[in-house]
Amino acid sequence: MAWLVLHFLLIISVSCRETLRLIAQGPTILPSSFKSYSQKAETTVSIAVGQHLSASHPVRQALATYLHISGIEASYGYFAPNVPGSYKLVFELHYPDRRVEYALPSVSSAAAAFRIAGLLDNIGRTRFDPLREHLVKVMAQFIWREHPDVETVRAIFGSVSLPSVREFEHGKRESYEFLYAYDFSLQNEPPKPKNH
């Protein structure tokens, strides 16, 4: 019985925390004054899942382990409150003979394509620049192995804006907005980001 109470307390705490985070980040149909309340409430709810403890604290470690092994570490707000736009990563491959080719991260199944899309969403959403850079670099390295003759690779990351129904009817199609570019060369130099 104690396990059941703890189990559902954790599920509800994680779900409440993520819901409050969505309200705090907005936009939602709620008035904007709810944002500050949600932020405060989210901090309070985070205590229930041990987020206020230090990362190495045994209680926090135990809770995190349990949340992960039971699959309840994430909330269930898929495509909520609104469906976000998607992201696109294009690799510009520069050959020694000045030839330029373009490549996209490709997979052989639809199931894997969802994972690549999820990866691009994570790259797009992260606010931590070094993490974004590292994830793009790993993908660029993979592309490089498939095209070993390439001299330099430019990774161009952008967001895809989706048209509304009305815009689509008036001929507007999805558009691509540049966000970041990273240059990689064979000399293992650190990438040179070119933001916006």
Partner 1 sequence: MQVLRERLLGFLFPDGTDQWLAILRVGLGFQVTFYSFSLRNDWNYLLSGAGNGVVSRNLAEALLSVESYFVPRLGWLATLAAPVGLSEERVLSVAWGCLLVAGCGLVVGLACRFSAILAWFLQLCTAKSGGFASYGVDNFMTIGLFYLMLSPLPDRYSLDWRLRELRPKNPQLLGFWRRVLQLHLCVIYFFSGLTKCLGSGWWDGSNVWRALVRPPFNVIDPEILVRWKYLFPAAGISICLLEIGYPVFIWHCKTRKIWLIGICAMHVGIGLTMGMYLFAFIMIILNVAAFGPDLVRAERARISLRPHEVIYESGG
* Contact track, partner 1, 31-60, x by CB under 8 A: ------------------------x-----
**53, two tokens:** 């403890």
Residue 181, token pair as written in the block: 């570019």
Task: Centre a 10 Å sphere on the Cβ of residue 180 and count the other Cβ atoms it contains.
Answer: 19
Min CB(119)–partner 1 separation in Å: 4
- If one asks whether residue 68 binds partner 1 (CB under 8 A), the answer comes out as yes
Span interacting with partner 1, options 12-20, 95-103, 150-158, 184-192, rule CB under 8 A? 12-20
Residue 25 interacting with partner 1 (CB under 8 A): no
Structure letter (DSSP) for residue 32 = T
In the complex, minimum distance from the CB of residue 28 to partner 1, in angstroms, rounded to a whole number: 4
What's the angle, vertex CA 84, arms to CA 78 and CA 89, rounded to 5? 115
Q: Does 193 bind partner 1 (CB under 8 A)?
A: no
Size of the site for partner 1 (CB under 8 A): 70
Q: Which amino acid is at 141?
A: Q
Query: Cα separation of 46 and 53, whole Å?
Result: 10
How many residues make up the chain in this entry? 196
Beta bridge partners of 55: none
What kind and span of H or E run contains 141? helix 129-146
Provide the binding-site residues for partner 1, judged by CB under 8 A. Answer: 1, 4, 7-8, 11-12, 15-16, 18-19, 22-23, 27-30, 55, 61, 64-65, 68-83, 85-86, 88, 105, 107-119, 122-123, 131, 134-135, 138-139, 141-142, 160, 162-165, 168-169, 174
